[in-house]
């Protein structure tokens, strides 16, 4: 942790270095926690793999996919996005646990950049998201999924997935700062699962009742899933609606809108803690 003279207010470039140094210190703290409890990280990485295997091999035989693609290949872009969504629970639990144990209050009392607590957590979660995507891509390749649009388009699709995860980090941070403790993570799970399943991740919105299909089409997750399917060259089940035809645009607009809303809310809530 970068320690400055408490009687001298850092300015300009020194303030930026101070914030970056403290943020990296807290990122390494999260990495150290994972290293001491690798089984927790392993379970988190393998949980989406279990869903892929269950959906693909138990229920996939009943699914018809446009273009003759297998259902396992169809759901992979959706599962990439859902893995980013599931990460909210990790963010929430880590922030809420520190707040409940008084760790956050101790950080606030130390001569460290005030942004470092949430920024360090966000950086750690993005590293975890990269690892999660790597595991899921490997899983997809093993069960027969392939991308057909070239490496540049595949890299852009992965970038969109990480942009979605970055936006969801701030949703998780804000909800955790509002929480009374990590036990309330059940409330986040009640939110996450409907958002994940009422989307185009696992089924085509056109197969849903009309009103529900419309909700699924405008789900931020659906925008990212549809854009990734197009970039990967996989079968696309989006309806011929404005949201479906402009999925690439919305896959950028939705995450930026979430960041614009939840980042300032998180900063305001963090500053208000302890008052």
* Between 247 and 241, residue with greater pLDDT: 247
Q: Is the pLDDT of residue 167 over 90?
A: yes
Instruction: Report d(CA 145, CA 168) in Å as an integer.
Output: 26
Q: Is the pLDDT of residue 6 over 60?
A: no
Q: Is the pLDDT of residue 265 over 50?
A: yes
Q: Is the pLDDT of residue 5 over 50?
A: no
Please give the average per-residue pLDDT across 182-197, as a whole number: 83
What pLDDT, on a 0 to 100 scale, did the predictor assign at position 166? Answer: 96
Contacts of residue 11, defined as CB under 8 A and 6 or more positions apart, other chains included, come to: none
The model's confidence at residue 168, banded by pLDDT at 50, 70 and 90, is very high
pLDDT over 90 for what percent of the chain? Answer: 41
* Between 14 and 160, residue with greater pLDDT: 160
Task: For the chain, give the DSSP string.
Answer: -----TTS---HHHHHHHHHHHHHHHHHHHHHHHHH-HHHHHHHHHHHHHHHHIIIIIIGGG---GGG--HHHHHHHHHHHHHHHHHHHHHHHHHHHHHHTTHHHHHHHSSS-TTHHHHHHHHHHHHHHHHHHHHHHHHHHHTT----S-HHHHHHHHHHHHHHHHHHHHHHHHHHHH-S-GGGHHHHHHHHHHHHHSSTTTS-GGGS-HHHHHHHHT-HHHHHHHHHHHHHT------SSHHHHTHHHHHHHHHHHHHHHHHHHHHHHHHHTT-
- List, for residues 57-84, the tens digit of each pLDDT value: 888 777 777 667 788 889 999 999 999 9
Residue where the block lists tokens 């279990």: 50
The model's confidence at residue 180, banded by pLDDT at 50, 70 and 90, is low
Mean pLDDT of all residues belonging to the chain: 86
Please give the average per-residue pLDDT across 123-144, as a whole number: 94
What pLDDT, on a 0 to 100 scale, did the predictor assign at position 11? Answer: 58
What pLDDT, on a 0 to 100 scale, did the predictor assign at position 178? Answer: 85
What pLDDT, on a 0 to 100 scale, did the predictor assign at position 35? Answer: 87
Tokens of 143: 């069960």
Question: Where in the chain are the domains?
Answer: 12-272
- List, for residues 33-57, the tens digit of each pLDDT value: 888 888 888 888 999 999 999 988 8
* Between 254 and 4, residue with greater pLDDT: 254
Instruction: Report d(CA 60, CA 145) in Å as an integer.
Output: 14
Instruction: Could you list the beta-strand ranges (E) of the chain.
Output: none
What pLDDT, on a 0 to 100 scale, did the predictor assign at position 84? Answer: 96
111 neighbors 6 (Cβ within 8 angstroms): yes
209 CA to centre of own chain = 28
Q: How far is the CA of 132 from the CAs of 38, 42, 161, in angstroms?
A: 14, 10, 11
Residue where the block lists tokens 């995450």: 255
* Between 105 and 70, residue with greater pLDDT: 70
What pLDDT, on a 0 to 100 scale, did the predictor assign at position 275? Answer: 56
Please give the average per-residue pLDDT across 129-152, as a whole number: 93
């Amino acid at each position: 942790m970068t320690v400055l003279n408490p009687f001298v207010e850092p300015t300009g470039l020194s303030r930026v270095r101070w914030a970056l140094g403290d943020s990296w210190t807290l990122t390494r703290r999260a990495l150290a926690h994972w290293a001491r409890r690798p089984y927790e990280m392993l379970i988190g990485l393998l949980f989406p793999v279990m869903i892929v295997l269950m959906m693909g091999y138990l229920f996939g035989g009943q699914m018809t996919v446009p273009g003759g693609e297998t259902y396992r290949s169809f759901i992979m872009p959706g599962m990439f996005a859902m893995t980013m969504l599931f990460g909210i629970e990790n963010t929430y639990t880590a922030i809420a646990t520190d707040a409940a144990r008084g760790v956050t209050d101790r950080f606030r009392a130390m001569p460290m950049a005030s942004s470092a607590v949430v920024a360090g957590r966000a950086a750690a979660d993005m590293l975890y998201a990269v690892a999660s995507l790597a595991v899921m891509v490997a899983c997809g390749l093993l069960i027969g999924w392939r991308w057909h649009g070239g490496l540049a388009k595949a890299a852009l699709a992965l970038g969109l997935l990480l942009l979605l995860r970055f936006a969801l980090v701030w949703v998780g941070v804000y909800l955790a700062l509002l929480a009374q403790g990590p036990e309330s993570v059940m409330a986040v799970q009640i939110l996450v699962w409907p958002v994940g399943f009422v989307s185009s991740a696992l089924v085509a919105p056109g197969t849903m009742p009309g009103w529900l299909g419309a909700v699924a089409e405008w789900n931020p997750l659906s925008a990212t899933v549809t854009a990734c399917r197009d970039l990967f060259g996989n079968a696309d089940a989006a309806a011929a609606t404005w949201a479906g035809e402009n999925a690439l645009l919305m896959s950028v607009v939705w995450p930026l809108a979430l960041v614009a809303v939840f980042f300032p809310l998180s900063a305001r809530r963090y500053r208000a803690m302890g008052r």
